[in-house]
C-alpha cells in the first residue's frame, strides 16, 4: 500500500446533474476514487469513467450497506467520504493533502458544510453543521441506519479542518421533495424496526414543531423567506414518517 494514500468513497444513482462537479473538486487530491453505483440509467457512469476505473455495482435500498461495500474496496491509509451532490472547496483540498501527509496526532477530522438551497447558500435553521468525513481506514466504520447513516471512528483523536464541503442537496422543489419522501419512508421503517409507535398527536404535532424549530427557534428566517419550502419539507418528512410507521408494523 502506498504510504498515506487517500481513498475517496462515492455512492451514485442517477446523479449526472451533479457528479461531474463533485469529481472535478477532488481531482487535485490524486486519490483512489471508489465509486459504487446502484443501477444508474442516466449519464452517471459515463461521467464516472472519465475520473476513475474503480467503479463497482451494488444495488440495495440500504445506503449503509452501500457505504460499507465501498469502504471494503478502499486500499488507502485514509478514507474520505463524498456524496455526489457535494464539492470540496480549494481550502479544504489543501488541508486534506496536508493532513494525510504529516504524521498527525489525529485519526479523523470533522469538516464543516456550506449548504445550498436552489443554488443559494443557507446558514441557519439546522443547516450549519459538521461531520466526520476524513478518517484513517483502520478506525473507520459506518452505522447501519437506514437513513442519516453516521461515519464513525473507533479512535477518539478527532481534529477539525477549516475548509468546507459545499453541499447542493436542495436543487429544485421536485428533487427536494422526492428526497424527503424517500428519507421519510426509510425513517418510518427504521422506527418501526426499533419498536416506535405513532399516534394522531405525533402525526399532527411533530411536523408543526419541526417547522417552528427550524424556521423560528433555529433562526432559519435569517436566510430569507425563500427557504420556507425547505422547512415545510422537513415538516412534510415528519408527517410522512409518522403516518407510515403503522404500515411497516403490519408488514414486519
Q: Please give the share of the chain, as a percent, with pLDDT higher than 70.
A: 97
pLDDT at position 252 over 80 = no
Quickly state the pLDDT bin for 207 (edges 50, 70, 90). Answer: very high
Which CATH class for the 6-170 domain? alpha beta
Angstrom CA distances, 233 to 88, 121, 170, stand at: 26, 17, 10
At residue 1, the pLDDT reads 43
Which grid cell is 140?
473507520
Q: For residues 216 and 59, which has the higher predicted lDDT (pLDDT)?
A: 216
CB atoms within 10 A of CB 219: 13
Which grid cell is 236?
412534510
Quickly state the pLDDT bin for 48 (edges 50, 70, 90). Answer: very high
Residues in the chain: 252
pLDDT at position 170 over 90 = yes
At residue 19, the pLDDT reads 98
Q: Where are the domains of the chain?
A: 6-170, 173-251
Angle, alpha carbons 162-167-168 (nearest 5°): 155
Residue 209 exposed, middle or buried by CB count within 10 Å (0-12, 13-18, 19+)? middle
pLDDT at position 96 over 80 = yes
- Count of alpha carbons within 13 Å of 56, Cβ hemisphere only? 19
pTM of the shown model: 0.91
At residue 77, the pLDDT reads 95
pLDDT (tens digit per residue) in 184-198: 999 999 999 999 999
Amino acid at each position: 500500500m502506498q504510504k498515506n494514500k487517500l481513498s475517496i468513497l462515492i455512492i451514485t444513482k442517477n446523479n449526472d446533474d451533479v457528479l461531474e462537479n463533485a469529481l472535478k473538486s477532488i481531482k487535485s487530491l490524486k486519490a483512489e476514487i471508489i465509486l459504487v453505483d446502484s443501477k444508474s440509467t442516466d449519464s452517471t457512469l459515463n461521467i464516472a469513467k472519465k475520473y476513475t476505473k474503480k467503479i463497482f455495482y451494488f444495488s440495495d435500498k440500504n445506503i449503509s450497506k452501500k457505504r460499507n461495500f465501498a469502504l471494503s474496496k478502499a486500499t488507502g491509509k485514509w478514507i474520505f467520504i463524498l456524496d455526489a451532490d457535494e464539492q470540496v472547496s480549494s481550502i479544504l483540498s489543501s488541508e486534506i493533502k496536508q493532513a494525510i501527509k504529516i504524521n498527525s496526532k489525529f485519526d479523523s477530522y470533522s469538516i464543516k458544510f456550506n449548504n445550498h438551497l436552489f443554488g443559494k447558500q443557507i446558514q441557519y435553521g439546522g443547516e450549519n453543521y459538521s461531520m466526520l468525513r476524513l478518517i484513517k481506514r483502520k478506525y473507520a466504520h459506518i452505522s447501519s441506519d437506514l437513513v442519516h447513516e453516521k461515519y464513525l471512528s473507533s479512535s477518539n483523536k478527532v481534529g477539525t479542518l477549516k475548509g468546507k464541503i459545499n453541499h447542493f442537496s436542495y436543487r429544485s422543489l421536485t428533487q427536494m421533495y422526492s428526497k424527503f419522501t424517500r428519507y421519510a419512508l426509510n425513517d418510518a421503517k427504521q422506527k418501526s424496526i426499533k419498536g416506535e409507535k405513532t399516534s394522531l398527536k405525533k402525526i399532527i404535532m411533530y411536523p408543526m414543531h419541526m417547522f417552528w424549530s427550524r424556521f423560528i427557534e433555529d433562526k432559519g428566517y435569517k436566510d430569507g423567506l425563500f427557504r420556507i419550502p425547505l422547512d415545510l419539507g422537513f415538516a412534510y418528512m415528519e408527517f410522512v414518517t409518522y403516518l407510515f410507521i403503522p404500515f411497516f408494523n403490519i408488514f414486519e
